[in-house]
Chains A and B, each alone.
Chain A
Amino acid sequence: MKNYRIAWRNLWRNRRRTLITVASVFFAVFFALIMRSMQLGTYDHMYKSIIESYTGYIQVQDEDYWENRTVDNVFEETAALRQKIKEDDNVNDIIPRFESFALASSGARSKGVMVMGIDPQKELLLSNVEDRLVKYRLSEEAVKNIKSEDIPEYLEKNLDLFEGSSYSGDGRLQLDLNIKEDDEDVLMPLFREYAAVDNSYFSMGDNSALVGDRLSRYLGLERGDTIVLVGQAYHGHTAAGKYSIAGIVSMPNPELDNKLVYLPVDVCQQLYYAPGKLTSMVIHLKDNDDKAIENTIARLDDKLDSPYRVLGWKEMNSTLVQQLEADNKSGLIMIGILYLVIAFGVFGTVLMMTAERRREFGVLVAIGMQKTKLAAVMVYEMLYIGLLGILSGVAVSVPAIIYGYHNPIHFSAKLAKVWEDYGFEPVMAFQWIDDYFLSQSLVVVVIVLVAVIYPVISILKMKEVNALKA
């Protein structure tokens, strides 16, 4: 009989023990997969959120700009440069940007802000600024008015919690306030009546600005108000300008939300005495796959010499990458501990199997079975246990992950508040089935193979006479 068949039959001689061991492997694989999927998916979501609201995947800048972000390190936007970049197969379009700092004031209040000159139409390719325009704002007055109507008790509590927040759409508002679907039709008109904000977008040449929501609250700005920007312009000039507020945008990242002022790029260039110059070009790609991005960076790097520099999103967001890397490591340590514990469980099983069958082994060898064959059977048995654990773990976690991938978990009420205070969007996303499945399975196989070393050695070293007496 073939080794693997003997092993399979041996496995079911003590069904209970086999099943419990399989269950322990299943438990570890299941948890590890779900945890990995959630962690990786959430990171991906966070990266996407900052990439799509700010840096983009690839930027072309002056070679000194990134280290020293001043208006003096800008470059001319020439047709030749555009042509060169656009030649690349993976480049869809080029989004121009002009970024700098200024002191913004309105009335008696002022604050250091980041001024970002954008092409209002092209920018829509990357960060959908128009969709970020604030639709509802829960001002103190709005909250009071809504409360004066007949509303459920839970809403009153949540309104207090989120007083001061702004929303670009119905979805997040309903999640934060935990508005139930049944109440939607009754409650949403209240928000439309009391909390709606009037906003509009701008186009090239408009002498108007969009400001981040938190910044607008700090400076007390509303649509139609005037904001004054003062700063350092190109080659030592003084930049000074006056703009009317076209709209208020809510950025997912609170730090940006607190300091961002959008201007049309041509207006921004005038402000800084740098017509035709840019601080960066964001490259809009056709294919956003990690590999494709890397290849595109390499190709552009080859093509563009000094004074240009090509930067990838990882380089531009190094703090976030490190932050999530730290979190990722802590997650891996946790899974590592889990596997360590499971490994001991598996080893325990192996130990029992060996001890219990000493006599049987002795008899088999005495009647002529080769020790190597016996050891091979043992290895098969353990591999079966590992594989069954992996398969069952994968089988149960896959549907959960697929479901989670299509329906990310959106936190609401109190939990959402904590995440938002930390500057994260309160969403837990799942990563699609990927390499991490393979690595988890590999870990289990390694555990099993290490555990099986002991019985193999003990079989090969066995003295039949002693074993028979056991």
Chain B
Amino acid sequence: MLRNTRDGYGLVAIAFHWTIAALFVVQAGLGWRMSDMEDSLLKFSLYQWHKSFGLLILVLALMRLGWRLANPVPALPDTLRPWEKRAARATHYLLYGGLIIVPLFGWAVVSASPLDVPTLAFYLVYVPHLPVPVGEAAEATFAAIHGTLATIVAAVALLHIAAALRHHFWLGDDVLRRMLRPLAARRRPADSPAREGAPLD
């Protein structure tokens, strides 16, 4: 139930997936909205929340990577052609990588900024700066990389969503469903003797 099998995702992987997905949506919205705001108290607050959510995503993404390495990866449906499997795997690698690298570049922006604004994640946890060169130029460079990579990750995420919807509605396989409920939970009605005649998948 908690761990993955070759056939489906466990509860932990599913929780990681949707928690990070929700955080990423909030984070992208914040990042997009706050960057062109006028200097104000609201802008300052939004930056602090963006930093907090970004660090949370980084921590969760690293934990998620560890969990993935320690678990079997559910196989893709055999109905997929090799290029589709390769594309799916590449998308997943890009998302994993992006969810770690984008927050790191965000952290570098904060650390390089001559404004030297300290980080207190969620107003609770003090997070020191990264050892990067400090200055307007370094800050601008890191910010450009951070923004570009974030945009790429958002585009890959859209591709990932489109692919999931294609699997569900067009190809009719269980690729989306298995990220919604653990395999055991999906199997239960079928396994139950009370529901005779239910197809055993």
A binds B: no
Q: Which residues of B contact A (CB under 8 A)?
A: none
A contact set with B: CB distance below 8 Å: none
